[in-house]
Structure 1
Amino acid sequence: MSMAELVAAGAPELPEGYFYRIRPTHITSGYFVGVRRQRRFLGSEELSCTVVYPSHFDNGGEAIVDGCRRAFENWSARDTERERCGEAGRFLGDHDPRGGR
């Protein structure tokens, strides 16, 4: 299934250079659904991952699309968290009341 087919089925569209990877869990009848970023070298990097179980849905396609939505939401939330942590990082260090370091 292509990215266009996933998006047409209801999965969130990812920016260029990002993609979904869907693979079996090997232990149970579930699937890992992850958001990944293509790297210039050394393949790709996993940014977010969730597990879906097709037996909990009416059909397998719904399960995969739900997994894509959850992985996308997790990835989006982490970006926001990273921005907040970056903002807070500028306050690291000692804060001498006399203005010195």
Structure 2
Amino acid sequence: MSMAELVAAGAPELPEGHFYRVSSAMITGYVRVSIRRARLVGSVHVEAAVVAMYRHSDELEAVVFGCRTAYQWWQEKEESTELAQRVQALYGDHDPRGGRR
């Protein structure tokens, strides 16, 4: 199945250089959906979700659910990383007279 077919079925579109990988979750009845970033050689893991196939009406619905879940977790992780970076600008001792030591 192509990325275009997954997106047409409802999966979020990924930025350039990223792709979905669907593989066994090593547990019968479950599938692992990963988001990966392509490199010059191979790819690196970005985020993943494990989906129980029996909770969905068909395999495609389960995989699309996994795509959405992994994408949502990836976005939440990115947002929390950005927030942590902004908060770091506030680290340190703050002088009661308005300055910073």
TM-score between both structures, scaled by the size of structure 1: 0.86
| Structure 2 gaps, min length 5 | none
Identity %: 47
Q: Distance in 1 between matches of 2:22 and 2:29?
A: 13
Q: CA deviation at 1:39?
A: 2.2
Matched, 1:39 2:39: yes
| Structure 1 gaps, min length 5 | none
Superposition RMSD in Å: 1.7
Equivalent residues in 2 for 1:1-101, closer than 5 Å: 1-41=1-41, 43-95=42-94
Q: Distance in 1 between matches of 2:44 and 2:93?
A: 35
Aligned length: 100
- Partner secondary structure for residue 27 of structure 1: coil
Q: Distance in 1 between matches of 2:85 and 2:44?
A: 21
Q: Deviations 1:5-26 (Å, cap 9, x if unpaired)?
A: 1001110100100111110012
